Chains A and B, each alone.
Chain A
Amino acid sequence: MADTINLVLFSGTDDKLQAAAILTAGAAALGKRVNIFLQYWALDAFRKDRIDLDHGLAPEAGAEGRMAVDQLRAAGQASWKETLAQAKELGEVDIQACSLSMDVLRLEESDLDPIVDGVEGVTAFYLNTNEGDIIFI
């Protein structure tokens, strides 16, 4: 397994973001560096004024899926934001906003939650991938 794992987050639903957060935390626990690149609806979910809101679930979830997720949260599972924060504390996790998506969503860096480390373009993202896998969520 490479020393670096790269996640491109496109989907903005809570289930996919949680999956991304868990992949990040697991990698950080193994001492891997994680580079996260936020695009479109994932980026939108990291807005300062939206990060703590309910972002819904992917259509596949349905009512049953909703219940299952709610049960796990009620049992004390950390939110994706908390899981990412813990991953950052544990290891090297860098979260960058895609500059094109910033333009599409008409965002300024100050609109983003402080958990986001900066804004970059796809070229910088590629240069930092360090031959690690790129996972698209």
Chain B
Amino acid sequence: MSTLDIARTVDAKGLSCPMPIVKTAQAAKEMPSGALLEVLSTDAGSVKDFAAWSKSTGNEIVEQSADGGVYRFVLRKK
């Protein structure tokens, strides 16, 4: 179990592409640099999407896991 200081969680479970990324980008916009954002998604495509988004925007993936069809990402706002 991680002990990260999550500033905000985006629950994107049940949303299909591109909404997990869109919701995440919206949330990240409102967060200060360095803050941690947690995202929960059930969209299998989101694994690659988050890797690409992270690489492209510079918001680093700090932690990532999958459990019973739910993908969890923790990202650090650049």
B34 in contact (CB, < 8 A): no
Docked-complex contact A78 and B57, CB < 8 angstroms: no
Docked-complex contact B18 and A25, CB < 8 angstroms: yes
- Taking the nearest CB of chain B, how far is it from the CB of A45, in angstroms? 20
Give every chain B residue within 8 A of A26 (Cβ-Cβ): 17-18, 21
Docked-complex contact B25 and A29, CB < 8 angstroms: yes
B contacts with A, residue count (CB < 8 A): 15
CA distance A89 to B53 in the complex (A): 18
Docked-complex contact B14 and A29, CB < 8 angstroms: no
Interface residues on A, range: 10 to 19
B33 in contact (CB, < 8 A): no
CB proximity to B under 8 Å, residues A72-104: 72, 75-78, 83, 86-87, 89-91
CA distance A87 to B53 in the complex (A): 15
Docked-complex contact A90 and B17, CB < 8 angstroms: no
B65 in contact (CB, < 8 A): no
CB proximity to A under 8 Å, residues B7-43: 14-19, 21-22, 24-26, 29
A residues at B contact (CB < 8 Å): 1, 22, 25-26, 28-31, 72, 75-78, 83, 86-87, 89-91
Q: 25 interchain pairs (CB within 8 A)?
A: A1-B56, A22-B18, A25-B18, A25-B21, A26-B17, A26-B21, A28-B25, A29-B21, A29-B22, A29-B25, A30-B57, A31-B56, A31-B57, A72-B16, A76-B14, A76-B15, A77-B16, A83-B18, A86-B19, A86-B26, A87-B22, A90-B22, A90-B25, A90-B29, A91-B25
Given contacts A29-B18, A30-B57, A89-B26, 18 further A-B contacts (CB under 8 A): A1-B56, A22-B18, A25-B22, A26-B17, A26-B21, A29-B21, A29-B22, A29-B25, A30-B53, A76-B14, A77-B16, A78-B19, A83-B18, A83-B19, A86-B19, A86-B22, A87-B22, A90-B22
